[in-house]
Amino acid sequence: MKIHVTFLIIISLFFSEKLSAQQRILLLNGRYIPVESFQIGDDYLSYKKINDKRKKMREVDRYDVFSILNEDGKEKIIYAPIDSLDYTVEEVRLYIQGEQIAREYYKAKGATISSAVVGLGSSLLSFYALPVPMIYGIVLGRFNPKKMNLPENFDKEIATSEAFKSGYNKAARNTKIQKSLKWGYISLGVGLTGLIIYGIENH
């Protein structure tokens, strides 16, 4: 019995290591693409996603890729500064970290609440209100958050770097737009539904 248990533990550790050691493409927007295989071209990076039934390889613009993490844990940097005005490799790494932190920790609660209020209020305009949540979301997305939400004991030197803040603010603005659109249109739908029900009941 003990031999069987030991064997199962070894097998599970082997497969968990295989799963965690998969190849991944790291995009400049901070998102990962787990891949089975890839080919690097002059303009595009072709890849096959894990368990992808599609026969033809997918493509991503090479200039949207930062690096590829190989199965052995080694990182191949794809990004290269085009001119002196571009970020260095290390600055881009900080920029990407800022995007990832913002997506995980920035909740945009203020944008959610205000968008819900605007969506509900605009329902009084009937179907003319359809563009209102979109316009409001775009306006909100023009402003950086007043405060960064960071993990506990996060490195202050990293948090104050311009590259990190730039990446964080970009992802936070996108989060505000997404949540604003979502809750703005949900509230608008609730408001319009309420008006329709009210109109039916009073006729």
Alpha carbons 169 and 173: distance in angstroms, whole number? 6
What pLDDT was estimated at residue 86? 85
Could you please state the CATH topology (level 3) that the domain comprising 21-77 is classified under. Answer: SH3 type barrels. (2.30.30)
* Rounded percentage of the chain residues whose pLDDT exceeds 90: 65
> Full-prediction pTM beyond 0.75?
yes
Average pLDDT on 39-44 reads 90
Compute the average pLDDT of residues 126-143. Answer: 91
Mean per-residue pLDDT of the chain: 86
Nearest CA among 136, 125, 151, 124 for reference residue 183: 136
Residue-range domain boundaries for the chain: 21-77, 89-201
SS3 state at 1: coil
